Copies of this chain bind each other. A is one copy, B any other.
Amino acid sequence: MIKKQKSIDSPQKPHILVCNDDGIEGEGIHALAAAMKKIGRVTVVAPAEPHSGMSHAMTLGTPLRIKKFLKNGHFFGHTVSGTPVDCIKVALSHILQSKPDLIVSGINYGSNTAINTIYSGTVAAALEGAIQGITSLAFSLTTYEHADFTYAGKFARKLAKKVLLEGLPTDTILSVNIPNVPESEIAGIVITEQGFSRWEEDAIERHDMFGNPYYWLNGTMRLLDDNMRKDEFAVRHNYVTVTPISCDLTNHRYISSLEQWNLQK
């Protein structure tokens, strides 16, 4: 089930598709594209607008548009008028000439640990890559402001090189969370599991000018993990976390218990 990718020592540089969920104007995708350009040919395809929290949503009810996006007057990449998953689907079917060697998603503003793995559009874009048979990585930085992508970009490059050599199981991506600190303060790199930490207080009620109520989703992440094997705990202790995430959601351990329910009767 391990698929080896093109070696980065081969004459032709690997082709790397870069996506995100913060939208093409997000600072993180520019840091990630710059990091990848040092090791491969890069194509950027990203949402025209921010799509945080969109998970694996895809656009079925409206058509999608592709546009070119310029940065400082030069072509930087393509935008798609949809979700991160739409971007991967449209990139593979209509923008790229052939399958890329690697898909990288991010660098996201805000960690995608624990339950955020499920809500994240950044992770979903990488998972869509895996579904399409392409080695894929997701990168997130643990802050929403004063982001310093220097070390994150450096680590993304290092991991991308490694993964191009080693490959990954076909149903699995690596979701990487990076503390927003200088490299000297990084405590280390750990392989982690998706933690149990959850959001609390899910919606707040306000009233409009007519007195009618409306609701904003809101909340704070409650830390429910207590060891370095869990992504949220480790990243809070300044470790870079690397979590293997699968698109097979089956709880295999529970199948034999369910079979004893004898639902046939």
Contact = CB atoms under 8 A, between A and B. Distances in A.
A259 interface: yes
Given A57-B55, A90-B215, A93-B203, A246 B255 contact: no
A131 interface: yes
B94 A203 contact: yes
B251 A203 contact: no
Interface residues of A, number: 73
A119 B215 contact: no
A263 B239 CA distance: 12
Interface stretch (A11-19, A32-40, A61-69): A61-69
A108 interface: no
A258 B89 contact: no
Interface string A128-170: 0001000000000000000000000000001100100010010
Interface in A163-221: 166, 169, 171-172, 174, 188-189, 191, 193-194, 198, 201-203, 205-206, 212-217
A56 B58 contact: no
- Copy tally for this chain in the complex stands at 2
A53 to B, nearest CB: 5
Interface in A219-264: 242-252, 254-255, 258-259, 261, 263-264
Nearest to A174: B258
A31 interface: no
Nearest to A255: B191
A191 B258 contact: yes
A153 to B, nearest CB: 16
User: Which 3 pairs of residues, A with B, have the shortest CB-CB distance?
Assistant: A55-B56, A57-B57, A63-B214
Interface of A: 50, 52-61, 63-66, 83, 85-86, 89-90, 92-94, 115, 117-119, 124, 127, 131, 158-159, 162, 166, 169, 171-172, 174, 188-189, 191, 193-194, 198, 201-203, 205-206, 212-217, 242-252, 254-255, 258-259, 261, 263-264
